Amino acid sequence: MDLDAICKNLPLSELLRDYSGNSGAWYWIGMAYWERRDWPNAAKWLEKTMNDSGNHGWQGKATLHLGLIYWKYSNRQQDALRLFESIPSFARARLNAGLMYFHGEGTSRDAVKGLRLVEEAIVVINDAQGNDSLFSPLECLKMSEVFYEGGKREKAKEYLRKSIQRCDLAYESDREIKSMAENNLRLMGG
């Protein structure tokens, strides 16, 4: 069994006790803190992973998650945008950069660049997986807004429908997303 398989399922206390000296485990320690919503500690371990020269393969995912922490929880939008743009092969990184440009978060608002990056994110994920099921209901809802404002109404409707389909109604937040997506779709006549 490889280190990733072991670390992925261990509680934080065991990760820290048994694996904190192993660079291949740093990503999982960061993600354990992520799950606890302990953003400073998650950022510390994800930064270590991102900057590690080891061959464990988690640098890209660590960069993506660190960018999300900077954007959403640390008020470091410019740093987040820089990180997202540093990993263009990650669909979610392109999507997040596109949303940041679209809304002018960490940069001047550029709706055209935002739309282009969102469209590129879809191409990247379709090329990698053959579909875009990786995107969450909330991401699909946000993408629909970018498409709508970019004059691509049918694409906006498509992503509203995807948002609705992907909602897991066991979660309160998904019920709210579904309601918003249904309302927006109704307002668009679709």
- Alpha-helical runs (H) found in 25-171: 26-35, 39-51, 59-73, 77-86, 91-103, 111-129, 137-149, 153-166
Same domain, 118 and 154: no
Domain boundary among 71, 89, 121: 71
64 within domain boundaries: yes
Instruction: Band the pLDDT of 6: cuts 50, 70, 90.
Output: confident
pLDDT, mean over the chain: 93
What pLDDT was estimated at residue 5?
82
Q: In angstroms, rounded to a whole number, what is the distance separating the alpha carbons of residues 172 and 176?
A: 6
Q: Mind listing the pLDDT tens digit for each residue in 170-179?
A: 889 999 999 9
Same domain, 22 and 66: yes
Same domain, 30 and 82: no
Same domain, 82 and 92: yes
Query: What are the tokens at 15?
Result: 């990760």
Consecutive H or E run containing 109: none
What pLDDT was estimated at residue 1?
56
Tally of domains in the chain:
3
What is the pTM for the complete model shown? Answer: 0.88
What pLDDT was estimated at residue 3?
79
Which range marks the domain in which residue 110 is found? 76-134
Q: Long-range pairs for 10-15 at CB < 8 Å and ≥24 separation? A: 12/36
143 within domain boundaries: yes
What pLDDT was estimated at residue 4?
81
Same domain, 150 and 182: yes
1 within domain boundaries: no
Dihedral class, residue 90 (left if φ above 0, else alpha if ψ from -120 to 50, else beta): beta
Same domain, 61 and 80: no
Q: Mind listing the pLDDT tens digit for each residue in 83-132?
A: 999 999 999 999 999 999 999 998 999 999 999 999 999 999 999 888 88
86 within domain boundaries: yes
32 within domain boundaries: yes
Domain boundary among 47, 71, 95: 71
Burial code (b: 16+ CB inside 10 Å, e: under 16) for 11-49 equals ebeebeeebeeebbbbbbbbbbbbeeeebeebbebbbbb
2 within domain boundaries: no
